[in-house]
Structure 1
């Protein structure tokens, strides 16, 4: 009895503290120059986004603080900030992304994500439930995904055992369908720009859902490619024409999908830079692409398969996925297949064309004179945002 009374008093005190500190909700967000992401919304005092077709609910900060028990249940953390588990008054479980002040993702990325994902509906895209702006706080509410993100399983030696080939193949197909929807079938034509394992969420049945649309680019109906000086995304997953020249198209996402596809088959993260004189290659390439290409040419692709999967009777299907991964990471965008072609490859046994050299390979007979600047090829697990003069 005394415990219940004390708990009630404590919650009342917490509520008073939060209310006293609370900064009134933003009455309006100044419209930002559209740049490459389109017009941003205006958020009114009744909690709805009025412009750009946004219909996402606007949550009160205190409601979110109470739902997360004052942000005490952290699910994970990334370059954008932290993600917390919460439960709304209705009983619905949610995942809440709380953007960090130190994050490279600011108001522009926050509004971009709300604008994009609130207008999309697909079983392989994460559902945005609402947002909140409270002083310097920027929060996004999503449906809760019981198995967190793909990287928490795929790159963990113990948890990876739960990902048999049947689950991995279902994940590959789901990611493919989600990207195809973004590229061709949605009301907006969207390039994700930051496809990687940590941005693939998994529900309780290991169904994949693409998340994190803060860096997504919206194409007008008549446009198929763009040239941008604002390079955003994660090195190691970026297509070379985009990373070096700002040339953006759906083939940029295809390249990222190829890297991710190889990661799923191998069970290893694509994080390393390689310079291998013995292979007569001079340049900086994701280690995974060099190894995959080398073993492919030596007819040893089976060595790329995750040892945890060797007992499976689907080795032929895994080899086919390695083949498709190499087709996706070819240097020239025109050589890479579209997502619709990839989905057809996944659902048939038709013959596949031979892949050409992966990107980032620069043949040379020199030992060091043509070496490129290391600073141009930074690869890490954190989302990077580089802003150059326009």
Structure 2
């Protein structure tokens, strides 16, 4: 295993004043990331325009050993080295004539391509100042492998800085970082948490717009917080459906989130939901019907049967998790409670018997729209079907939530499918062997028979 080391003084990256030396070749994965980052970096576009204008080799096109701080860590060292160099140059170009030149070039450029990501690389100094040196008072969230700090940029924008702790020493967290950067970096939708940029200096950081009210889970389950009203809950359900439908249908490539749950949906000051945490997200090429994933990762109580048992992932995987999310919003109960009873197993009798009033969070009382509650429960019952074939798409889910006429015959399953549903209900119920386990758990397992549980981040 290679460890981080400094570049020698006689680095081959040193610049000659008489000739233009090409940079050393990068391995194929690094070249792919180079293409992505060059496409995303306005600094790179500006340099290309200057080179075309001058028609000669310029020192501006060469990365010196002082600008690039080499880091070598496993096979992804080239990724970080490239990101560091872009972030470092971006910080230098933020002042003086360079900034004015950049603004002029940007104004003269052609309209932005919809494929071009809008994020940029921040320097460590920028996010260090924004978070007041990662002051404890700005810490708004903490998990097993990450921390989230509130920060404010010089232009007044309030941001959330997600720090992946110990990422330099963990190859998996590096992969998660690149996966999240490559997926959410291309998403632009009011109901998807907007990525502003990243930083790879000292640790790995992602910078997002700040969602002032925290997660749906925090607002729903915090005993000290006031109970959310029915209108707010329904708005969260519809907004999240819009964001998820966008990920499946509106992006240049289909994105499967794989971890839709209340703690991964954030709320703005006016309670608009924003889907966040794309660490498990996967691209699904247009010609593919599904992907086979190993190891299986996710949250107990939210996993579709075909994913849990066979590792099969497609849009219907997210639809199943969204159905659990709907039930959680409606009932105020967690996907798995303290007795290890799943929300699905608890809710199924009420759904089958049409006892909607028994599903509604008692903290709401009778202050809810009965027709909307029946519609929400009906949509949830479709989403959590064990057969992926008989689940609706997110487009159909959104239409149903927004009031399209419900045709019962369209969603009636064959009796054989209903029998399978009986058998698979409760597959995600946990054993009661462990004495102290958190209500909501995540797991990473190669198969259902060999699962290793960890606390949810």
TM-score range, shorter chain: 0.7 to 0.9
Equivalent residue for 2:124, pick from 58, 61, 67: 61
Displacement of 1:140 after TM fit? Answer: 0.7
Where does residue 44 of structure 2 map in the other structure?
none
State the alpha-carbon separation in 1 of the partners of residues 141 and 419 from structure 2.
33
Give the match for residue 17 of structure 1.
none
- Runs in 1 of length 4+ with deviation above 4 angstroms? 24-32, 39-42, 52-55, 102-105, 354-361, 372-375, 377-380
2:305/2:424 contact within 8 Å kept: no
Is the aligned partner of 1:140 residue 2:206? yes
CA spacing shift, 1:382–1:58, aligned 2, 3 Å = farther
Q: Tell me which residue corresponds to 1:279.
A: none
1:324 equivalent to 2:379? Answer yes
- CA deviation after TM superposition for structure 1 residue 41, in Å: 10
Of 69, 77, 90, the match for 2:142? 77
User: In the superposition, relative to structure 1, how do residues 385 and 89 fare at CA in structure 2: closer, same or farther (>3 Å)?
Assistant: farther
Determine helix, strand or coil for the equivalent of 1:337. coil
Matching residue within 429, 434, 443 for 1:384: 443
What is the CA-CA distance between 1:296 and the residue it aligns to?
Answer: 2.4
The answer (yes or no) to whether the contact 2:253–2:284 under 8 Å persists in 1 is: yes
For each residue in 1:138-166, what CA deviation from the matched residue of structure 2 results, as whole angstroms up to 9, or x when unmatched?
111110111011111111234242x2111
More helix by share: 2
Change over 3 Å in CA distance of 1:363–1:168 after alignment to 2: closer
| Alignment-derived partner of residue 358 in structure 2 | 303
- Pairing partner for 1:263 from 312, 328, 341: 328
Mapped to 1, the partners of 2:438 and 2:380 lie a distance apart of: 19
Alignment CA distance shift 1:125-1:175 (3 Å)? same
3-state DSSP of counterpart to 1:43: helix
- In structure 2, what is the Cα distance between the partners aligned to 1:27 and 1:55? 26
Which residue does 2:222 correspond to in 1?
Answer: 156
Cα distance 1:313–1:155, how it changes in 2: closer, same or farther (>3 A)?
A: closer
- Count of residues in correspondence between the two structures: 340
Counterpart CA distance in 2 for 1:322 and 1:145 is 28
Once structures 1 and 2 are overlaid, which stretch shifts more, 67-76 or 137-146? 67-76
SS of residue paired to 2:83: coil
1:379 is displaced (CA, Å) by 8.3
Partner of residue 106, structure 1: 173
Structure 1 unaligned blocks of 5 or more: 1-23, 33-38, 275-284, 365-369
* Equivalent residue in structure 2 for 1:200, among 257, 265, 270: 265
The answer as to whether partners of 2:351 and 2:381 remain within 8 angstroms in 1 is: no
The Cα shift of 1:130 comes to 0.9
Matched, 1:314 2:380: no
Deviation at 1:299, TM superposition (A): 3.4
Deviation at 1:363, TM superposition (A): 7.7
Q: Structure 1 residue 345 and structure 2 residue 400: aligned?
A: yes
Q: Tell whether the 8 Å contact from 1:80 to 1:105 is kept in structure 2 after alignment.
A: no
Bigger radius of gyration among the two: 2
**Larger RCO (CA within 8 A; separation ≥ 6):** 1
Where does the alignment leave 5 or more consecutive residues of structure 2 unmatched? 1-67, 90-114, 451-457
Q: Structure 1-normalised TM-score?
A: 0.77
Which residue, 221, 225, 235 being the options, matches 2:300? 235
Q: 2:346 pairs with 277, 291, 301, which one?
A: 291
CA contact (8 A) 1:164 1:309 kept: yes
- 1:104 is displaced (CA, Å) by 9.3
| Offset of residue 105 of structure 1 | 5.5
Counterpart for residue 119 of structure 1: 186
Contact 2:164/2:205, CA 8 A, preserved across alignment: yes
Match of 2:159 in 1: 94
In the TM superposition, residue 56 of structure 1 has moved relative to its aligned partner by: 2.4
What TM-score results when the alignment is normalised by the length of structure 2?
0.67
Which residue matches 1:226?
291
